[in-house]
Structure 1
Amino acid sequence: MSTEHAHYLDNPDKSGPPPQIDVVATVPGAPPAPEGAEAMTIRVTLPPKSPGAPPHRHSGPAYGYVIKGAINFELEGEPVRVVRAGESFWEPGGDVIHYQDGNHLTDEESAFVVTMFCAPGQPMLTVVSPEELEARRDRRAPTP
């Protein structure tokens, strides 16, 4: 974390300790939100073994934080990774396919909060067809 992200506000009227503000993640060079975008924040709770949403894309960038458990996270061109409680993730949106966001745990639920910047008139999530998945198969990172 750079000092430009350090947060301390001197409050002469304070009656207790100051808030603790921790930067969880930053995304340098993140893509801009679509013009006129609507910001939407949702909480997703995944039961044990839930595969999450089917392969999909978002019309704008999305920034998330796992609040409970662990999720499998896979974007087109990147290997699947496990994002655990207290860790964050982001995706650029647009043409990039989001392959996985399922529960990594088989015996407890996982949950995350995500803020998405949706293009006006677009759904927050568009499922990718099996035909497109097959046509773009070479863009998916190999699985170990």
Structure 2
Amino acid sequence: MSDIESTTGGHKPRSNAWQSAITVVQEAEPPFIPSGAHAMTIVVEFPPGDPGTPPHRHPGPAFGYVLDGEMVFELEGEPVRVLQAGEAFWEPGGDVIHYQDGNNRDDIPVRFTVTMLCEPGKPMLTLVDEDELVRRRNRRAPRTD
């Protein structure tokens, strides 16, 4: 590639693999990033059949990637979907309920990583109580189960 400047002092690089090593799995334009936000990356693992985290929300956007297994993923206003290992997901954070992130399989664990932009002074995850779920039930996408 002629548009890349070398700083190796004339030495040949050991490999050219870096030129094709990146695969974009997801791009998103989050609606906001909290002022003074800090990033946190976590790995979550749920055993076979585990329903995952109860309904919750994050103060800022979250970007994730399924490492192993299958995750049931549901955000407020969107239909339930199953994400396979190698698939990415994101949620805008703020006033959006994350209903499901559980294991879709009863024979293997699910493991995924999430990078969140967290608002200072707020927990990275807040559970949603039953009263709020009832008040906002009209915002949840129709379910088939």
Task: Tell me the TM-score normalized by structure 2.
Answer: 0.89
For 1:89-129, what per-residue CA distance to the aligned partner results, in whole angstroms no more than 9, with x for missing partners?
A: 00000000000000011100010000001100000100001
User: What residue is the counterpart of 2:25 in the other structure?
Assistant: 24
Q: Which runs of 5+ in 1 are unaligned?
A: 1-7
Distance 1:9 1:139 in 2: 49
For 1:50-93, what per-residue CA distance to the aligned partner results, in whole angstroms no more than 9, with x for missing partners?
A: 11100000000000000101100000011100111000000000
Aligned-partner SS, 2:138: helix
Distance 2:95 2:32 in 1: 14
Aligned-partner SS, 1:133: helix
User: What residue is the counterpart of 2:72 in the other structure?
Assistant: 72
Letter in 1 for 2:13: K
For 1:19-53, what per-residue CA distance to the aligned partner results, in whole angstroms no more than 9, with x for missing partners?
A: 211111111x3223100011000000110001110
Distance 1:85 1:100 in 2: 17
Letter in 1 for 2:100: Q
Q: Any residues of structure 2 matched to 1:1-144 within 5 Å, and which? A: 13-19=12-18, 20-27=21-28, 29-144=29-144
Instruction: Kindly report the root-mean-square deviation, in angstroms, between the aligned alpha carbons of the 2 structures.
Output: 1.5
Q: Which runs of 5+ in 2 are unaligned?
A: none
Which of these two proteins has the greater Rg computed from alpha carbons?
2
Distance 2:84 2:95 in 1: 26
Distance 2:45 2:38 in 1: 22
Q: Percent identity?
A: 57
Distance 2:77 2:24 in 1: 27
- Cα deviation for residue 18 of structure 1 reads 2.3
Task: Tell me the TM-score normalized by structure 1.
Answer: 0.89
Distance 1:77 1:125 in 2: 19
Letter in 1 for 2:26: A
